[in-house]
Amino acid sequence: MIFRELNNFGILGINNRVGRYILRHNKRENYPLVDNKVLTAQRAEAWGIAMPENYMIIENYGSLKNLQLKLQHYNSFVIKPANGSQGNGIIVIKEVIKEVVNGEIRIICRRSNDKLMEIDELKHHISGILSGLYSLSGQSDTAIIQAKIDKHPIFNDYSFGGIPDIRVIVFEGYPVMSMVRLPTRSSDGKANLHQGAIGAGLNMRDGSTNNAVIRNQVVNVHPDTGHKLAGLKVPFWQEILDLAAHCYDMVELGYLGVDIVLTPEHGPILLELNARPGLGIQIANLAGLVPRLEKIRLEAPKNVLAKERVEFSMKSF
């Protein structure tokens, strides 16, 4: 059987993920809490979990009218669909250029890839989001204009363009596996593995990297900065795991992907949650998820505080 080795290494396949973990442990009614980033933000605020500040929530085409006036107060921002997935439909504006023409203020936005965007293009993109172009189900959506997060200096040598983020898989409240996604030139500065970002597996013990891949191929150095990936150790590791474990209490999804970013000012904050986290994390870690998931299912104590769960995970994996 050609699958014997996959089985021996305890690698989780899509069918197994859906059938045994997602369908059994994730209640459908809790999905909107993670699928809709507006709801996630509201819930997070109530639970005291830090997320990037939402400047504006655009629900209808009418509110696009005065967009220029509203946006001129900010120096940078991110536009994203509330129901997007895999980073689709996200535009990062790193600079807002204001100029006065005939006594009117006009703004031009510079994207993270240095392309310039007129306000009309921006409105077009947002109306695309509103009509559901990027939403999970193709239904009409809400656009979020959010504070742009700055890169934590520790990642300066390890990323190209955008902000790296840390993905933690949380099962029944226990952090199971983690990786950091490092943007590259070929991923267009996005922390998206499908587009060619680096996925670097992190040891649950201390947040140091154990292995790294680009598109399923092992890499040792960052292709754009040339920096060795082995020396990276993600700071605030305990806090990151605490935050991830806490998210389980917040949305009550047994099988959860938590995306966390490190800000220079506030440390780790929650970026978004995912009810169907991908399986690429296993390649990034050179490890299968199944043994860890089963260990938690069979051995981990139930109904314990996030702190204790994190302790269990750090010791076990």
Partner 1 sequence: MRKTIFIITTLLIFAPMGMLLYKSQVLNLSLLPEMVDDVWNFHLTARPKGDKTNFSFPIPKPGPGIKISDERIRSKNFEVFIDSNSDSTLATWSAKEPIKQRVTYSARIDLKPLFYKNIPKDFTEVYPKGLSRYLKVPTLLPEDNAAIEHLEKAILEGSEDKTGVIRKIYYYVEEEIQRHTNIKTIHETLNTGKGSPLIKARLFNIMARRQKVPSRIVVMVRMPKKENAEHQKLSFTFANEVFLNNKWIPIDTNRGFFGERPDNFMVIHRNYEEVEKIISKKKVSYAIQAERARINRYNKAEFKKEVVKSDSIFSRFSLYRLPLPLQTMFTTILLIPVGTLVLSLARNIIGIPTFGIFTPILLTLFFKETSFGFGLLFFSVVVAIGIGQRYVLDKFYLLAVPRLSIILTLVIMLMIGYSLFSTDIAFVSQKHLAFFPIVIVTTNIERLSIMITEEGVFNTLKTLFGTLVISVLGYSLYSIHALEMFMFTNPELLFTIIGLLILIGKYKGYRLSEFLRFRDLVRQKKKLESASNDLP
CB of 89 closer than 8 Å to CB of 307: no
Write out the binding residues for partner 1, residues 20-49 only, by CB under 8 A. Answer: 20
Size of the chain in residues:
317
The nearer residue to partner 1, 21 or 237, going by C-beta atoms, is 21
Tokens of 296: 């938690």
Task: Tell me if 191 sits within 8 A of 181, measured CB to CB.
Answer: yes
Per rule CB under 8 A, is residue 184 in the interface with partner 1? no
- How many angstroms separate the Cα of 291 from the Cα of each of 112, 176, 232, 256? 40, 10, 26, 17
**Cβ atoms within 10 A of the Cβ of 46, count?**
9
> What is the total count of residues that contact partner 1 (CB under 8 A)?
38
| Minimum CB–partner distance for residue 16 and partner 1 (Å) | 4
- For residues 312 and 233, give the distance between their C-alpha atoms in angstroms, rounded to a whole number: 20
Among 13, 32, 267, 291, binds partner 1 (CB under 8 A): 13
For partner 1, which stretch binds (CB under 8 A), given 33-41, 142-150, 281-289, 300-308?
Answer: 281-289
Interface with partner 1 (CB under 8 A), residue from 32, 132, 267, 291 = 132
11 is a contact residue toward partner 1 (CB under 8 A): yes
Residue 131 contacts partner 1 per CB under 8 A? yes
Binding part of the chain for partner 1, among 120-128, 236-244, 251-259, 293-301 by CB under 8 A, reads 120-128
Can you list the pairs that 311-315 forms with residues at least 24 positions away whose Cβ atoms lie under 8 Å? 312/174, 313/174, 313/175, 313/176, 313/204, 313/241, 313/245, 314/204, 314/205, 314/238, 314/241
Q: Please give the residue ranges that form the binding site for partner 1 (CB under 8 A).
A: 2-3, 5-7, 9, 11, 13-16, 19-20, 61, 86, 88, 120-121, 123-124, 127-128, 130-134, 194-195, 211, 213, 216-218, 279, 282-283, 286
